[in-house]
């Protein structure tokens, strides 16, 4: 599959699911509880605010390649989609860019790179 054939929003759609799976699996494996507690904890990783924060920190460290930054920009600049009331447009677009990057990595089969991002996320977020 050619990633250039996928819109930024399409990549973000997949990336959202992939990132949610990483978060949910990690929380369950760490014995963080069940039900509503798991949901509350997952928000620290999957909310637009959290994803924008993760991206900002990694970007500031020069963590991403130029190709990854380009995919991020495609997702961030994608048109459409309603912005949730709980966040501002800039934060929402940043999170969409982050999700697009995760989706592109998944489609490329680059799971090890997603693992690296996940590992760095643990250093950024203290949950």
- What are 70-85's pLDDT values in tens digits? 999 999 998 766 777 7
Helix (H, G, I), strand (E, B) or coil at 77: coil
What does CATH list as the number for 3-124?
Answer: 1.10.1520.10
What span, in angstroms and rounded, lies between the C-alpha atoms of 68 and 87?
24
pLDDT, residue 56, reads 97
pTM score, two decimals? 0.91
Whether pLDDT at 54 is above 70: yes
53, 58, 62, 81, 123 from 114: Cα distances, Å: 17, 13, 16, 25, 15
pLDDT, residue 126, reads 65
Told to judge if 16 belongs to the known catalytic residues of this protein, a careful annotator would answer yes
Q: Looking at residue 64, what DSSP letter applies?
A: S
Whether pLDDT at 47 is above 80: yes
- Helix then strand then coil, % of the chain, to nearest 5: 75, 0, 25
pLDDT, residue 100, reads 97
Catalytic residue among 16, 88, 110, 115: 16
């Amino acid at each position: 599959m050619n990633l250039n054939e996928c819109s930024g929003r399409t990549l973000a759609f997949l990336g959202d699911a992939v990132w949610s799976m990483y978060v949910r699996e990690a929380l369950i494996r760490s014995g963080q509880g069940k039900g509503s507690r798991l949901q509350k904890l997952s928000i620290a990783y999957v909310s637009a605010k959290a994803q924008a924060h993760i991206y900002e920190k990694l970007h500031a460290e020069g963590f991403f390649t130029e190709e990854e930054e380009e995919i991020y920009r495609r997702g961030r600049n994608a048109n459409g989609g309603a912005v949730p009331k709980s966040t501002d447009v800039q934060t929402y677009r940043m999170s969409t860019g982050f999700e697009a990057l995760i989706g592109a990595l998944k489609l490329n089969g680059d799971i090890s790179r997603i693992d690296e991002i996940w590992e760095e996320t643990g250093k950024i977020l203290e949950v």
